Structure 1
Amino acid sequence: MRIGLLGTGPWAELAHAPALSLHGELEFTGVWGRRPQAARELAERHGTRAYEDVDGLLAEVDAVALALPPDVQAELAVRAARAGCHLLLDKPLAATVAQGRAVAGAVREAGVASVVFFTARFQPEAEAWIAGQAGRADWFTARAQWLGSVLTGDSPFGRSPWRREKGALWDVGPHALSVLLPVLGEVRRVAAAAPGPGDTVHVVLEHAGGASSVLTLSLSAPAAAAGATVELRGGAGVTVLPESTQGAVPALLRAADALLAAARGGHRHPCDAAFGLRVTEVLAAAEALLDGAGRGGRDAGPPGARRAGGMPA
């Protein structure tokens, strides 16, 4: 499969370009970026070609990996899908629900495969744990803490304008939701959302199966307090998401495997654009509460897609 890379930022440099170069079943065809010089430098380091015209790259590949801010990713993902390209997307899928629906709709209409790179879903330890917990129906509650310090340290990701604007809810919130949704089920309602120190947010979710979950998300935590924890409590006791022994590049290689399998087999991957849209809807509902747009909780599903009692269809 010929694949191109859209994006030249730190995530493209540290994860996407190395993974595309290493994958044995991908031909890393070229790089496009909003900064042509950065695209040329990244392409040269990985022995591929820089494209000045994004449509020129789309015309010469079977798939694209996107490492771009969510609003830019959404626009170009629609363009790529309509050009017949399979999509290896980053989280969050989009910056708004409308953008997310446009991506999911373009993927569906074009009949292309899509995979959204939620890191934990492509790490073997986490993947096995999620599969094991998803088979139980007696979960009572969950606690997810995803705490980073990229806005308070010298991380290159801390200089990202979209992260500074959207904060932890949209940056690390997708990671927490990607773990909780397959285990506890659909989010029926975002019951509460409140700010904490810096960009920290606390979100309370009601799940369709009856369980509740509480998320604490931050990009501005002290370095000594940073880390990710997901804890489930139910009839079987307590279980905690295991730490991964692998970094981003091996996980991206597994995500590329998933895209290849979906493209060849014609089946949907669980972390496809439709799932990315579902996560975007929950994030937007929480953001509305934080902005004071909601009172007493907010439904997290698409309009017209609810059963009686507010359950997602």
Structure 2
Amino acid sequence: MTTPHDDLPGTPHGAPPPAPLRFGLLGTGPWAHATHAPALDAHPGVEFAGVWGRRPEAAAELADRFGIRAHSDVDALLADCDAVAVALPPDIQAPLAVRAAEAGCHLLLDKPVATTPGGAAEVAAAAERAGVASVVFFTLRFSPTTAGWIDARAAAGDWLLGRADWLSPVFGGADSPYAASPWRKEKGALWDVGPHALSVLLPVLGDVADVAAVAGPGDTVHLTLRHHGGASSTVTVSHTVPPGAAGVTAEVRGPAGVAVLPEREEPPAESFGHALDALLRAVRTGTPDACDLRFGVRVTEILAGAEAALGAVPGLDTGRAAAAR
């Protein structure tokens, strides 16, 4: 995987570097401050051109920190950019991504693309009509440590079983900047960290043919997946476990034995730099990235199927979560 400080992605070796891609940032929350903005500011193939947020004062604060322009009009920012990075709740992201594509901006989106298949499909259709490139930021797919493991397991093939557990204490007593997130409270861990689990399992075991889901305590959800080709896997996600019960694990099993996902070694901002590389490569070569909107739409479809299997949006069961604390 190319690092942000090697030759710019998609540029022939020895050729003069192309002009930086002008990027706008949509969103001003903790994720934008800690991950998107620092990576945009540091990347040599990017000109960090401006920011828009739903809270003008937050946009002004972030703009002052990075020496960029805060825009009060999102369409004015889109008109001034070649591409956008989005750090917003999924169902706010999706319609803005449609507007960005229609304005001719390439798209670096957060997961999930949307929380309805229709919303995600509208973004993909807009990007295809406009001929813009897209990448969806699944953190583990852009960390060299974990991405290398996924690629190697996918190349080996012949896996029979998989498991992924994403258990966090965001609403379980941890001091987390994401505990105030309304969309995470409403949609729960299924939609927030479920995409991470699928981003690991799908490339290795194949697309999902069937999904079943059972609710657990708080916003915990257990999934059982049957993959095309015959493999099966389980996923457990939660934002309401106590801190002592938190952890992330994933593994696959087959004739070659057991392969366990290594821990991600890089900070998210570094992984986001690799996602920027991927988008630049797609723009300059015309070759879609494996984590483009097609993959993002499929993840939304699978999670929507799991949500339907539950019979209701999981959401945060505050009473049970409080009892667990």
For 2:198, the equivalent position in structure 1 comes to 177
CA deviation after TM superposition for structure 1 residue 292, in Å: 6.1
Q: Which residue identity lines up with residue 83 of structure 2 in the other structure?
A: A
> Does 2:46 correspond to 1:29?
no
> Does 2:197 correspond to 1:167?
no
CA deviation after TM superposition for structure 1 residue 222, in Å: 1.3
Once residues 312 and 29 of structure 2 are traced to their aligned partners in structure 1, the CA distance between those partners, rounded to angstroms, is 33
User: For 1:264-294, what per-residue CA distance to the aligned partner results, in whole angstroms no more than 9, with x for missing partners?
Assistant: 111110000111000000000000011169x
Once residues 185 and 236 of structure 1 are traced to their aligned partners in structure 2, the CA distance between those partners, rounded to angstroms, is 18
> Does 2:76 correspond to 1:56?
yes
User: For 1:174-217, what per-residue CA distance to the aligned partner results, in whole angstroms no more than 9, with x for missing partners?
Assistant: 00001111100010111x20011111000000000100000000
CA deviation after TM superposition for structure 1 residue 154, in Å: 2.2
Once residues 193 and 42 of structure 2 are traced to their aligned partners in structure 1, the CA distance between those partners, rounded to angstroms, is 26
CA deviation after TM superposition for structure 1 residue 113, in Å: 0.6
Q: 1:240 aligns with which of 260, 274, 284?
A: 260
Once residues 184 and 311 of structure 2 are traced to their aligned partners in structure 1, the CA distance between those partners, rounded to angstroms, is 17
> Does 2:111 correspond to 1:91?
yes
Q: 1:149 aligns with which of 161, 169, 173?
A: 169
- Kept in 2: contact 1:91–1:117 (CA 8 A): yes
For 1:287, the equivalent position in structure 2 comes to 307
User: For 1:134-168, what per-residue CA distance to the aligned partner results, in whole angstroms no more than 9, with x for missing partners?
Assistant: 12332111111011111122211111000000001
Once residues 194 and 243 of structure 1 are traced to their aligned partners in structure 2, the CA distance between those partners, rounded to angstroms, is 27
Could you tell me which runs of 5 or more consecutive residues in structure 2 were left unpaired when the two chains were aligned.
1-20, 314-325
What is the percentage of aligned positions where both structures have the same residue? 62
Once residues 260 and 118 of structure 1 are traced to their aligned partners in structure 2, the CA distance between those partners, rounded to angstroms, is 16
Count matched residues: 292
Give the 3-state SS of the residue equivalent to 1:112 in structure 2: coil
For 1:112, the equivalent position in structure 2 comes to 132
CA deviation after TM superposition for structure 1 residue 251, in Å: 0.1
For 2:10, the equivalent position in structure 1 comes to none
Post-superposition, which runs of at least 4 consecutive aligned residues in structure 1 deviate over 2 A? Answer: none
Once residues 211 and 158 of structure 1 are traced to their aligned partners in structure 2, the CA distance between those partners, rounded to angstroms, is 35
Give the 3-state SS of the residue equivalent to 2:48 in structure 1: strand
Give the 3-state SS of the residue equivalent to 2:156 in structure 1: coil
> Does 2:251 correspond to 1:251?
no
Once residues 31 and 114 of structure 1 are traced to their aligned partners in structure 2, the CA distance between those partners, rounded to angstroms, is 19
Q: 1:82 aligns with which of 89, 102, 120?
A: 102
> Does 2:256 correspond to 1:273?
no
CA deviation after TM superposition for structure 1 residue 108, in Å: 1.0
TM-score by length of 1: 0.92
For 1:38, the equivalent position in structure 2 comes to 58
CA RMSD of aligned residues (A): 1.0
Give the 3-state SS of the residue equivalent to 2:44 in structure 1: coil
> Does 2:134 correspond to 1:122?
no
Q: Which residue identity lines up with residue 65 of structure 2 in the other structure?
A: R
TM-score by length of 2: 0.88
Q: Which residue identity lines up with residue 198 of structure 2 in the other structure?
A: L
Pairing 1:195-214 to 2, within 5 Å after superposition: 195-214=215-234
Once residues 128 and 202 of structure 2 are traced to their aligned partners in structure 1, the CA distance between those partners, rounded to angstroms, is 22
Cα pair distance change 1:95/1:292, threshold 3 Å: closer
